[in-house]
Amino acid sequence: MSERYSRQERFAPIGKEGQAALMDKHAFIVGAGALGSANAEMLARAGVGNITIIDRDYIEWSNLGRQQLYTEEDAASMRTKAKAAEQKLKSINSSIRVRGMIQEFNAENAEDLLEGVDILIDGTDNFRTRLVINDATSKRRVPWVYGGCLQSYGLVLSIIPGETPCLQCLIDYIPDQGGTCDTVGIIGPAVQTTAAYQTAECLKFLTGHPMSPEMVSFDVWGRNYSSINVSKLIDTACPSCSKEAVYPYLNKEKGLKSDRLCGRNTVHIRPAHSINLSFPLLTKDLETITSKVKESGEILSFQIEEKRFVVFKDGRTLIHGTDDVKEAKELYQRYIKA
C-alpha cells in the first residue's frame, strides 16, 4: 500500500505532504454521467479521502460509449448511476470513503449537502442545475469547477466564491453550443479532456495550490484551444455573488415539479416533498393494469401503452414517450399517486 501513490508523490507540486492532505479532503460531484464518472475515478485513484457523488438518473445503453464506470450488466439491470458508481469506486480504492446518492441536487437540498465539502465538481448536463450549484456554492463559500462538453468541444472554469467571478457573472461569456448530447452527440475524447482539466484544478486546490483564473475551451477534433483570463469580470451587482446577493436559484418551488429532458422525449416529475415509496405496494396496484412491471431494488419501471415510467424510491419519476409537461403530470398523478 505504501507504493500506491508513489508516482503521484514524486510529482513535486503534490509530494508526500500534498498526498497526505488529499486523504483529509471531501470532494462532492454533482452528476454521475460522463464527466462525473471520469472525475470520480481519477479522484478515487488519486486518493481523495471522501467522495460523494449524486445523480438522479439510471444507466442506459447509450451511456456506455462515454460513461466509463458502467458496464453492459449495469445497463441491462437499469442500475442507478449513483449506486453503480459507488460500488465501482470502492472496488478501485477501498481505503477511501465513497457515497453514492440517488437524488437530484436542487434548491431544496443544495445548502445542506454542501456541509463539510471542500470542493464541488460539476458533472451535470443542464444549465438549470449549474445555476443552483453556483448559488449554493457562493452562499456556502465552497469552490467549484465548472465543466461542459458537447460533440468534440469542452470548456472548463474554476470558481472560488469571494475571489473570482461566479457563473452568473460570466453568463454572457460562456458560449451556447446549442443542442445536447442526445441531439447532436459527443465523443469520448471531449469528455476525457474536459474531465482531466477539472480534476487537475481540483487536485491543485486540495493540495494548496491556486486554481487557474482562465476559462479554457478546446476542440479535440479540430485541435483548437483557447483561454481567457476572467479574473477581472466580477459583476459587483451580481445577484448570486455580490454583497447584496439574493441567490435567486435557491428559491424553492411549490407543488409538483417538472422539467423536460432535452432530446429524450421525456419529462422528469418530482413530488412536492421527498417521500419513501413502497415498491411492493405500487407494484400490487400497477399489476391490475399492466403486466410490464419490473423492479431492480433501486428503481421500478413499467409501461402503459406508449409511455414508459421509471420510478425512484423518493417519488421522482421519468416518463418516457412524451415531452408534454401537463400530460406527464396527469399521468404521474394517475399512476404514482405520490
Same domain, 86 and 110: yes
Residues whose CB falls within 8 Å of the CB of residue 288, separated by 6 or more in sequence, listed in order: none
Same domain, 97 and 226: yes
Same domain, 177 and 288: no
Same domain, 323 and 246: no
pLDDT score for 262:
67
Q: Is residue 198 part of a domain?
A: yes
Nearest CA-CA partner of 28 in 89, 113, 146: 113
Same domain, 139 and 286: no
pLDDT score for 161:
96
Q: Is residue 70 part of a domain?
A: yes
Mean pLDDT for back-to-back runs of 10 residues, the chain (338 residues): 87 96 97 95 97 94 90 92 96 97 92 97 90 96 95 95 94 70 82 96 97 94 94 94 93 78 82 82 86 84 90 89 89 81
How many domains in the chain?
2
Residues whose CB falls within 8 Å of the CB of residue 335, separated by 6 or more in sequence, listed in order: 286, 289, 304, 309
Q: Is residue 291 part of a domain?
A: yes
Same domain, 218 and 319: no
Number of C-beta neighbours around residue 335 at 10 A: 20
pLDDT score for 178:
59
Q: Is residue 173 part of a domain?
A: yes
Rounded CA-CA distance 95/268 in Å is 36
Same domain, 326 and 189: no
| Domain carrying residue 185 | 6-250
Q: What is the CATH number of the domain that holds 244?
A: 3.40.50.720
pLDDT score for 125:
82
Same domain, 136 and 31: yes
Same domain, 145 and 268: no
pLDDT score for 277:
85
Q: Which residue, of 199, 218, 250, is where some domain finishes?
A: 250
Nearest CA-CA partner of 207 in 49, 37, 93, 323: 49
Same domain, 127 and 200: yes
Q: Which three cell numbers stand for residue 103?
A: 437524488
Q: Is residue 68 part of a domain?
A: yes
Residue listed under C-alpha cell 481540483: 202
Same domain, 91 and 16: yes
Same domain, 52 and 127: yes
Q: Is residue 1 part of a domain?
A: no
**Rg, Å, the chain Cα set:** 20
Q: Is residue 129 part of a domain?
A: yes
Q: Which residue, of 233, 250, 267, is where some domain finishes?
A: 250
Q: Is residue 120 part of a domain?
A: yes
Q: What is the CATH number of the domain that holds 282?
A: 3.30.310
For residue 94, give Cα distances in angstroms to 135, 188, 211, 235, 280. 33, 27, 28, 44, 34
Q: Which residue, of 250, 283, 309, is where some domain finishes?
A: 250
